[in-house]
Amino acid sequence: MILETVLAFLLGAFGWTFMEYVIHRWLGHDPRLRPNPFAAEHVRHHGEGNYFAPNWKKVGAAIGTTAALLWPAVAVAGWPAGLGAVIGFVSMYLGYEILHRREHTHPGVGRYMRWLRGHHFHHHFTNPRANHGVTTPLWDWVFGTYAPAGMIRVPAKLQMDWLADVETGLVQAAYAGQYELVD
Ligand SMILES: [Zn+2]
Ligand SMILES: [Zn+2]
């Protein structure tokens, strides 16, 4: 039973990575599905760079989704496993929120995190039709929207706080190989 619950947790977490891709690619970026409440917030996130939807909206959406998922999950998999799957899903969602915010606000920690951040900023500044995954590039590979980050040209007015030296206004040496500031 413990093994089953752990597997259900992992499956739930994996399920979130797919939802993250679906919500971002189709609700956020497909003109056929606009307008919708997620796109309204997401367009602002792209336009202003440092804008994130208010927490009360995110918490509300998370509670609503948890409630909606819990009963079907328990009906299918029983109590411990069904609950484990939903907790896995919601935990990965929280991880996504933290990771996405930190990508914008803090320098990345470790090689993989810096690489993932490049994946996301390619989406922001090079091609919004590519790289919809935030916690993983997996679904971009699966659906053919993966693009290598390459050189990312960041408009100066949308630049992230960690990118440039406050004194000189130039891209920090550590990021100069991957990011360029443009007007
Ligand atoms: Zn972003
Ligand atoms: Zn986007």
For the cut 90, the answer to whether the pLDDT of residue 160 exceeds it is yes
User: Secondary structure of the chain: what % helix, strand, coil (to 5)?
Assistant: 65, 5, 30
Q: What's the sign of the alpha-carbon dihedral 182, 147, 41, 136?
A: negative
Note the pLDDT of residue 180: 97
pLDDT above 90 covers a percentage of the chain that reads 96
Q: How many angstroms is it from 45 CA to the middle of ligand 1?
A: 7
Q: How many angstroms is it from 155 CA to the middle of ligand 2?
A: 16
The stretch 93-107 carries a mean pLDDT of 95
Query: How many angstroms separate the CA atoms of 175 and 135, rounded?
Result: 21
Residue-wise pLDDT tens digits, 24-49: 999 999 999 999 999 999 999 999 98
Q: How many angstroms is it from 126 CA to the middle of ligand 2?
A: 11
Ligand nearest to the CA of 128: 2
| Residue bearing tokens 């990508």 | 103
Q: How many angstroms is it from 124 CA to the middle of ligand 1?
A: 7
Note the pLDDT of residue 111: 92
Ligand nearest to the CA of 38: 2
Note the pLDDT of residue 129: 97
Note the pLDDT of residue 94: 95
Beta carbons within 8 Å of 37's beta carbon, 6+ residues apart: none
Query: How many angstroms separate the CA atoms of 161 and 173, rounded?
Result: 14
What is the rounded radius of gyration, in angstroms, for the C-alpha atoms of the chain? 18
